[in-house]
């Protein structure tokens, strides 16, 4: 039987992942990219021995069982991409007007750390975290 042909426009994380998923399901896929190189926001460059990312610099949801880990397994990337934990007390740090805001890993550390910067927002931060967890949980249960 002749393979169905699909054109995916854009070679970012979304386009490349979609292309692989379609190819694994029997489609003949062509990914078109308007830029000079593939990857979209997944770009990095080196200057004087230092490496810089211009977009994505870490990924979440890759503990076994979590959503992105399942996608990595399906795309057969897990063995090729070494993973390690970032600083749990500040996996991301936003520096703004001389102040630093640390994003701590996990519900309680996140709420505690953020509340130390924004004490009046403690309840809102808890609601925000719980809402994000609910959305992520809903995504997990669809796989």
Give the residues lining the site for ligand FAD (CB under 6 A): 9-15, 32-35, 40-42, 55-59
Contact 135, 62 (CB under 8 A): no
65: left (phi over 0), alpha (psi -120 to 50) or beta: left
Residue closer to ligand FAD by CB (options 36, 97) is: 36
Least distance in angstroms from the C-beta of 79 to ligand FAD: 20
Contact 104, 110 (CB under 8 A): yes
Q: How many helices (H) and strands (E) does the chain have?
A: 4, 6
Residue closer to ligand FAD by CB (options 17, 121) is: 17
Least distance in angstroms from the C-beta of 98 to ligand FAD: 22
Least distance in angstroms from the C-beta of 120 to ligand FAD: 28
């Amino acid at each position: 039987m002749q393979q169905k042909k699909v054109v995916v426009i854009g070679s970012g994380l979304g386009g490349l992942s979609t292309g692989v998923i379609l190819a694994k399901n029997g489609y003949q896929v062509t990914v078109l990219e308007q830029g000079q190189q593939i990857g979209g926001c997944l770009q990095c460059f080196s200057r004087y021995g230092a490496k810089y990312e211009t977009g994505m610099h870490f990924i979440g949801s890759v503990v076994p069982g979590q959503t992105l880990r399942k996608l990595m397994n399906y795309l057969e990337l897990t063995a090729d991409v070494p993973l390690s934990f970032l600083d749990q007390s500040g996996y991301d740090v936003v520096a703004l007007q001389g102040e630093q805001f640390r994003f701590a890993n996990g519900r309680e550390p996140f709420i505690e750390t953020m509340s130390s910067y924004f004490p009046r927002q403690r309840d809102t931060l808890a609601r925000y975290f719980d809402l994000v967890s609910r959305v992520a949980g809903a995504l997990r249960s669809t796989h």
